[in-house]
A and B are shown apart, each in its own frame.
Chain A
Amino acid sequence: MENISSLTIAQVRDGLREKKFSATELAGQALRFAEAENSKTNGYLTFSPELATATAKVVDEKIARGEDPGLLAGVPIGVKDVISTKGVRTTCASRMLEHYIPPYDATAVERLKAAGALIIGKANCDEFAMGSSNENSAFGPVRNPVALDRVPGGSSGGSAAVVAQGTAVASLGSDTGGSIRQPASFCGVVGVTPTYGRISRYGLVAFASSLDHIGPFARNVSDAATVLEAIAGRDELDATSAFAPVDDYQTEMRKPVKGMKIGIPKEYFEGLAAETGDKIHAGLDVLRKLGCEVKEVSLPHTPYAISTYYIICTAEASSNLARYDGVRYTARAEASTLGEMYARTRDSFFGMECKRRIMLGTYVLSHGYYDAYYLKAQKVRSLIAADYSNALKEVDALVAPVSPFPAFKLGEKIADPMQMYLSDIYTITGDLAGIPCMSVPCGVTPEGLPVGMQIFAGHFQESTMFRLAYAFEQAGGVA
C-alpha cells in the first residue's frame, strides 16, 4: 500500500477502484502515521479514529455494492479546530472550549462526510483563529514541517502543516484576514479562500462573521478544487451563503490560459523582501511564457487595509466572543456573583490575543468612538472592494505575493502585536472585498523556505483562479 504522505485525491480514488487498498485500510494507516508524526509539528489537537473508521466502513460498503462512494471517498482529511464536528472535541485552540464536544456538524463537515472523506483529526490553530503565526494556540504552537524552528503561519497553521507533512491528503482551514493563504505560502502547499458565501459558515465558530471563510488546503491545485467542489454551495442554515452555481472545476481549470489578462497591483510590491519578490517575478515570467498578458494595475486604498481590517474584525470578535461567559461552554471560574463569574471566566480562559482583540473591538464600538472607527472602517471597506472591482474590469485576475516575507522564526514577532498585524498586508484586502483568492507554491528561497504566489479573481470566479494556478503548476511553477 502506498505511503499516505504522497497520495493525491485522484490516486486515492484510483487505488480504491482498483482494489489496491480499502478505505478502512487507508484510515488505519493514515491515523497511525499522523499520530506517530504529530510530536514533530503539533499539527493535530485531537484525533478522531472512530469517525474516520465509521466513514471508511460506509465507503467500503458502497464500493462493494457498486455504488458511487463520493467525490472524496477514502481521502484522509484534517479539519481546523474551529469547525464543529459532531461528537469530536472542538476547542478553537482555547482553554475556554478545552472540553467542548459539539452536538452538531458544520455544513462543510457534513458535506465532507457525505462525500466519503475520512476526517482523521482536528488541526491546531491560533486561538479562535486570531493570529498570523499559530503561536497563539493554548495547546502550544505548530511547527513548520519545512523548517521546524519556524512558524507555519496562522491562523490555520495546523491545517497547512498536516498537508505539508503528509499526515493528511487535504484539510479545511478558515480565513478571516489571510489565515489560509499565508500558512499555505509558508508551508509550500495550495490554500484556497473562496468567495465569501461560497461555503456555508454554519458550524464555523464565529470570529468576524462578515469576513470569515472556510476553505481547503491541498498538495496540488486539482485536489484543492475537488475539496471545494465537494463542500461549496448554498446552505439554508447560513443566510449569507450564496445561490451561485458551483462550476465543474476539473473541466474549467484545464482550459488554456493563453491570452488571459493578469494585473499586478503595484502597491503589493512595495516593502517586499527581495527573496520573495524574486520568486514572484519569476512566477510572472512563467505566466508570460504561457501566453498571459501582464500589466500593472493600482489598488490605491491598500495602505488603509490594516487599519480597516483590525477595526472591523475586532469589533465583530468582541461581539461574537461575548457568548463565552461561563454558562454554556464548560469553562467557569469560581465566583459568588454572576458579574464576577463572567469577568473571571473570561479572564481565566481567554489567551492574551483574544483579550486584546475583545478590548480593541469593545473600544471601537463604544459610545463616542463608533463613528470615528467602526463606521469609518466600513466606508473604507467599500473603497477597498471598489478598488478590486475596478481593477478586475481591466484584467481577468490579479497576481501578487501572499506575504512580504517567508516563514519567520518561532518567537520572532509574538511580543509585538502591531508588527504581527502588519504582516497580513497582502492578504486582508481579499477578505474585505469577499473575492476568491488563493496561494499556489512559487518556489523556495535560497534558505529553502517556500514562497506562495497569490491569485485573486472576481466574485464566484474560482474557475478563473484555478485555471491560472493549474496552468502555472503544470508548467512546473518556479524552482
Chain B
Amino acid sequence: MEFSKDDVRKIAKLANLELNDDEVSRMAHDMAEVLTHMEQLAGLDTSNVEPMAQVLFEASPTASLRADVVRDRTILGTADALRNSALSGAGHFKVPRVIER
C-alpha cells in the first residue's frame, strides 16, 4: 500500500500534530507497512458477525449505574483542577487569544 507524504500531512492535521519533514518521511514508510499488514482483514468474511466494541458481561439492568449521591472522593476543587495546567489565572485555564477585537 502506498502512503504519500501528502497523506501523512493530511492525517497529521486531523490529529493535531505538526510533524517535521523527517517525521513525515518516516511516518509515510511506517504507515504504509502497517496498513499493508492490516489489509489482510479484507479477505475475511464478516458479513454475519456483530462487532464487539467492549467486553460485556451479564449483570442486572442497571449494572453500570451507581446511586446519584455526591462522593467526596470524586470532587475536584478549582485549585486542584488547575494545578497541573501550563498557564492559569482567575480560576480558568489560559490559552492564546481566540477572539479578536
Contacts and interface: CB of A to CB of B under 8 A. Distances in A.
B54 A385 contact: no
Nearest to B76: A103
A364 B71 CA distance: 38
Most buried by A among B14, B55, B87: B55
A376 B74 contact: no
B45 to A, nearest CB: 10
Contacts of A337: 96, 98
Given A355-B27, A378-B53, A347 B18 contact: yes
A306 interface: yes
B80 interface: yes
B76 A359 contact: no
B96 A104 contact: no
A329 B49 CA distance: 41
B59 A243 contact: yes
A277 B55 CA distance: 31
B17 A343 contact: yes
B15 interface: yes
Contact of B96 (A236, A328, A341): A341
B70 interface: no
Given A307-B41, A363-B31, A240 B51 contact: no
Contacts of B23: 347, 352, 355
A335 interface: yes
A358 B99 CA distance: 29
Given A327-B93, A378-B52, A359 B81 contact: no
Given A332-B86, A359-B27, A417-B30, A376 B15 contact: no
Given A307-B38, A308-B41, A330-B85, A210 B54 contact: yes
A210 B55 contact: yes
A382 B59 contact: no
Given A101-B84, A356-B27, A325 B55 contact: no
Nearest to B63: A243
Interface residues of B, number: 55
Interface string B1-40: 0000000100110111111100100110011011101111
A290 interface: no
A327 B84 CA distance: 9
Contacts of B90: none
B38 to A, nearest CB: 4
Contacts of B57: 197, 242-244, 459-460
A377 B64 CA distance: 26
B17 to A, nearest CB: 5
B18 to A, nearest CB: 4
A329 B84 contact: yes
Interface in A266-322: 301, 303-304, 306-308, 310-311, 318, 322
A101 B83 contact: yes
Contacts of A239: 64-65
Enumerate the 8 nearest inter-chain pairs by beta-carbon distance, A residue then B residue, closest first.
A434-B55, A378-B51, A332-B86, A343-B18, A239-B64, A236-B66, A379-B46, A103-B80
15 contacts: A101-B83, A103-B76, A196-B55, A197-B55, A239-B65, A350-B17, A359-B12, A359-B27, A366-B14, A376-B42, A380-B44, A380-B49, A418-B33, A421-B37, A459-B57
Interface of B: 8, 11-12, 14-20, 23, 26-27, 30-31, 33-35, 37-42, 44, 46, 49-55, 57, 59-60, 63-66, 71, 73-74, 76, 80-81, 83-87, 93, 95-96, 98
